[in-house]
């Protein structure tokens, strides 16, 4: 199990290095979606969650919600692929990536721990 965890963490670090929306790993993501989400994260409207997915902190119009959904669908596919390659669940893969993404959050951006509410970093 330790080997699987280390493999997932290493894979998570690689994915997180690609940015908040996994531009290099998610063919479903578009540049407008990434730009919208990056701006919303800077404004505090969108945050990262401990499950490896984006979430709406507050507000957000239909276009932003669609961008978050698009990126989350891409992330889900990556987590599923990672799980198949490493023998863990997609949830574990997402949580491993989330740890890496948390480390990259800028001060003032939002994070939602598992089972908790939104907090500012």
Count of C-beta atoms within a 10 Å radius of residue 27:
10
Structurally, the chain folds into a number of domains equal to 1
| Locus of tokens 């996994």 | 22
Domain assignment of residue 13, given as a range:
2-113
Check residues 70 and 23 and name the one with the higher pLDDT: 70
User: Would strands 110-112 and 119-120 be described as parallel, antiparallel, or unpaired?
Assistant: antiparallel
Give the pTM. Answer: 0.79
- Determine the pLDDT at residue 12: 53
> Residue 112: is its pLDDT beyond 90?
yes
Which of these, 109, 93, 2, lies nearest to 51 by C-alpha position? 93
Which of these, 18, 20, 12, 11, lies nearest to 40 by C-alpha position? 20
Indicate whether 76 belongs to any domain. yes
Q: Do 79 and 64 meet the contact criterion of CB atoms below 8 Å apart?
A: no
Indicate whether 118 belongs to any domain. no
């Amino acid at each position: 199990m330790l080997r699987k965890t280390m493999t997932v963490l290493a894979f998570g670090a690689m994915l997180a290095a690609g940015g908040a929306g996994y531009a290099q790993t998610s063919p479903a993501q578009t540049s407008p979606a990434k730009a919208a989400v990056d701006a919303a994260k800077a404004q505090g409207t969108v945050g990262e969650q401990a499950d490896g997915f984006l979430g709406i902190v507050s507000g957000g119009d239909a276009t932003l919600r669609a961008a978050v959904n698009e990126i989350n669908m891409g992330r889900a596919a990556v987590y599923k692929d990672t799980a198949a390659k490493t023998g863990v669940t997609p949830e574990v893969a997402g949580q491993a990536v989330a740890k890496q993404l948390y480390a990259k959050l800028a001060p003032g951006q939002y994070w939602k721990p598992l089972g908790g509410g939104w907090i500012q970093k």
